[in-house]
Amino acid sequence: MTRNFNEIESICWARHADVTSEEYASQPDGFWAARAAWRRTKRLDWNVDEHTVVIDDTPWPSESKGFIEAMRDNGITTLIITYSGSSLMDALAEYSKLGAQLTGLTQVEKKHPAPVFDGPQNALELHIN
């Protein structure tokens, strides 16, 4: 199976079903977490370009390598992290080991925010080399 997020979307759309268990098992740890983050970024209509993914959670530590590799393979060069949970520092350390660079603080918002619930969110910005 392909490792391209857009191709996987097309395949699933054509057969009116998500990935099979065999397809799921064929990808490395972290790949599906990366695809899910990419899909959420598109579905929630974040005000970012096609090379940026907004994540509101971090994958399991064992998935970090596959997560970053899947992002690279799909042309994602920037991660915007809105997550502030207890595993954030560990995730940042892992991403750094894998070549991602923390570039600073930023804010992110949706293209069409709801008046009360969707104000700009503070976030960390990482660039994936």
CATH number of 29-128: 3.30.110
Percent of the chain with pLDDT over 90: 57
Size of the chain, expressed as the number of residues it contains: 129
Torsions phi, psi for 88 (to 5 deg): -60, -50
Q: What is the average pLDDT across 26-46?
A: 91
Q: Does residue 1 register a pLDDT over 70?
A: no
Q: Which helix (H) or strand (E) holds 108?
A: strand 100-108
Residues 38-56 pLDDT 10s:
999 988 889 999 999 999 9
- At residue 114 the predicted structure's pLDDT band, cuts being 50, 70 and 90, is confident
